[in-house]
Structure 1
């Protein structure tokens, strides 16, 4: 179906079908929807919204073309009383100028083209165009993919960029914009590894920490590059997580309804003060963070050649191998060098708890919470088959990293977890219960969900 209005009409029809039968088809009666229908309506409405955004992008590009500077006062936007097309679009859409600019850029990048001789050409980004017009991805996702590809276009191989576009579009389906940002960062590092070093240099030059007192409060405002900020982020997250766990255990014991109710920002502030007091009072060289580990990983080929890139747990943007080497030379950092195949660790039933080496292997495979992506310091290693009741082994094929929330979600709502094998390169799959997905289609989890791999 190539007619965009027909695609939109079909999506609207599916939305009506999902909502039909509720309070005389009153589209305002959301409170009357059953849970299963809530999900169906949300899914259908999301598709309608994405397709509508696609149509709006097409219109925005055409408005921009009809408002091009060479038309002068005869340009469409000036005729309508606006200084440029983005001002017209922002005013009529009720959005910011930045949103209007992105809408125009996406429309121009996904619109069919013609040569000076009138020959028809495909869109500049055909894979994004197809996914956008069929409602598989939305305008924000299309914008960040296009922006990154355009940014590296002059330095990266054209064929590699085309493969990257196809890969990113395929993996973007079902990801939030924040999750997609992880994938975009790694794809850019793959396409333009030489661009990492100058970006790191610029970021390091911009690092800063401002401390001032006002109205009886000490204010801190920090901007930290990845090398400087990663240890800070990992340490604070680990201590805040331990603080939450201690508070939960205390509440179970005392059953006090007025137990510790500090917010996450308040706990982070308290943890920062704790770390500072420890540094002032302690003669040791490092802080006892109770198992919090900062892992920097890279491939053996990249380590040997010095090219490519490395990744840091809890940090989205990749870093250069040189940065990884510097970090690994310092204290409190574990370098993880990967070959072509992941090492298999198997403790069987000799130990109930996962060893530190096994936890590091699980971090290597899962990247943090295998279901929601929270950093490793906010997770625990859990047995798929219970160690005591089901005699499950304490090994990689029976272990998974989950945060507390996802752990309860798995057990309380009937989800299943399957792991391909006992390798750090194996994939973790989450099988939804029938009330979530009647087909129970497996959903990819773990690090593999965000790792960038070019299409074959």
Structure 2
């Protein structure tokens, strides 16, 4: 416990040095970012110190103790309720604290011999303040789920890899990383899970208060064309909005010009897109998605031919059994990821300005979507690192990245630099911040490499 308190004290000193004692409004942008970082370190250190305490409260409140349970003696029905009352944590947060504390504590055998923690790499990362309790709990939950189906050596390597990659990831990026880890470690379990998900698919309709409520649950294969079609239609509207003026009431903008901009929310766009698709399906042979809307499946040629292994569908974090892709291919316009064949030209030099569909597929395989923020591929477009018109940049893969509209503007406006190391879809994309964001200009990894696995 003394070492853990030392970590909290060091984090407090770093927070004070960053300016944490000042009013937030008085901080410069760089100081505000540094204080935010220091608070993150402090929060992780506090959780790292508290998790073993929560685990011990749970141990001393185990059901076998009956009336001697610590929680019941304090007037609580469970250790989780005791932790909630004293910390204000939610049920989930209290459970995660107990779980992480139990899984990262040193153990002893029946004979009293010491044993390492059940998850030693998670324990080290949490103790160092690098991994939050939330991320640690997610990693532990996945590894425990796979413990009976994955050998200990692979599980240990996966735990080490996940603990190295999880720090700094957003919640959605961590979810994507864990989904890929599960698919890589247990492809057989993925196939069984897919059949369960397919059996559970359902769409319920209920009319209530003058509105129709749709509640749907879909397996990935069923969901792929639904999501792809709706995303394509929403993306079309968002791209039109990129150059359309916004009408400000009471301002000097032309009202007719302002009307060109679509002010619907994205959920409203999806609802209208579903209506538009169904209205067309009732009597029109053409649908508004047009022939360019495709379901893109990422897999190897061997997996496509053998039906073994797993595949990824653009826009989804979870993976799909490769055998299921054959059914998709029979029903839909599916593009398997077999890139760079003799019939495709992936590097165009200066002969064309816009990236070709084949190049965009290759970029999506490398970048996974917006290389900067992680938005799905359908929301992105190809961006020249060295500008085509100003810098005579070629329309080649090593001079291109996928960016959504917002990140495209941010990269240019804020002065970020982009570097591509390597060739083809295995290359790594780095974003170099401007000096006013990071004086050291430390490169930040982008795209798929953030959640790529080595295990």
Q: Which residue of 2 aligns with 1:100?
A: 94
Distance 2:109 2:2 in 1: 22
Cα offset, 1:283, TM superposition: 1.9
Q: Which residue of 2 aligns with 1:335?
A: 336
Q: Which residue of 2 aligns with 1:18?
A: 18
Equivalent of 1:31, from 25, 33, 39?
Answer: 25
Contact 1:293 1:377 in 2 (8 A): no
Give the SS at the match of 1:441: coil
Contact 1:420 1:426 in 2 (8 A): yes
Runs of at least 5 residues in structure 1 that lack an aligned partner in the other structure: none
The TM-score normalised by the length of structure 1 is: 0.93
Contact 2:229 2:289 in 1 (8 A): no
- Comparing 302-311 and 126-135, the one that deviates more: 302-311
Cα offset, 1:301, TM superposition: 4.0
Distance 1:304 1:291 in 2: 25
Distance 2:318 2:151 in 1: 21
Contact 2:369 2:380 in 1 (8 A): yes
Distance 2:372 2:164 in 1: 19
- Comparing 152-161 and 263-272, the one that deviates more: 263-272
Contact 2:237 2:262 in 1 (8 A): no
Give the SS at the match of 1:436: coil
Distance 1:351 1:429 in 2: 25
Equivalent of 2:158, from 156, 164, 171?
Answer: 164
Q: Which residue of 1 aligns with 2:201?
A: 207
Give the SS at the match of 1:106: helix
Cα offset, 1:2, TM superposition: 7.7
Asked if residue 358 in structure 1 is aligned to residue 352 in structure 2, the reply is: no
Distance 1:261 1:442 in 2: 36
After superposition, where does 1:221-236 map in structure 2 within 5 Å? 221-236=215-230
Cα 1:449–1:441 change in 2 (3 A) is same
Q: Which residue of 2 aligns with 1:111?
A: 105
- Count of matched residue positions in the alignment of Structure 1 and Structure 2: 444
Distance 1:386 1:293 in 2: 29
After superposition, where does 1:276-355 map in structure 2 within 5 Å? 276-284=278-286, 288-289=289-290, 291-337=292-338, 345-355=346-356
Give the SS at the match of 1:276: helix
Encode CA deviations 1:209-254: one digit per residue, 9 max, x unaligned. 1122222212211111111112111221121121122234332797
Contact 1:67 1:77 in 2 (8 A): yes
Q: Which residue of 1 aligns with 2:262?
A: 260
Give the SS at the match of 2:337: strand
Cα offset, 1:293, TM superposition: 3.1
Cα offset, 1:296, TM superposition: 0.6
Q: Which residue of 2 aligns with 1:275?
A: 277
Encode CA deviations 1:188-220: one digit per residue, 9 max, x unaligned. 111111101221111111111112222221221
Contact 2:432 2:444 in 1 (8 A): yes
Contact 1:431 1:442 in 2 (8 A): yes
Asked if residue 121 in structure 1 is aligned to residue 115 in structure 2, the reply is: yes
Q: Which residue of 2 aligns with 1:441?
A: 442
Q: Which residue of 2 aligns with 1:417?
A: 418
The TM-score normalised by the length of structure 2 is: 0.93
Cα 1:290–1:39 change in 2 (3 A) is farther
Distance 2:197 2:204 in 1: 16
Distance 2:35 2:290 in 1: 45
Q: Which residue of 2 aligns with 1:408?
A: 409
Distance 1:97 1:87 in 2: 8
Distance 1:301 1:291 in 2: 26
Contact 1:113 1:121 in 2 (8 A): yes
Cα 1:255–1:16 change in 2 (3 A) is farther
Q: Which residue of 2 aligns with 1:219?
A: 213
Q: Which residue of 1 aligns with 2:142?
A: 148
Distance 2:228 2:254 in 1: 31
Give the SS at the match of 1:400: strand
Encode CA deviations 1:107-131: one digit per residue, 9 max, x unaligned. 1001111112222211111111111
Cα offset, 1:34, TM superposition: 1.2
Distance 1:3 1:305 in 2: 53
- Comparing 420-429 and 244-253, the one that deviates more: 244-253
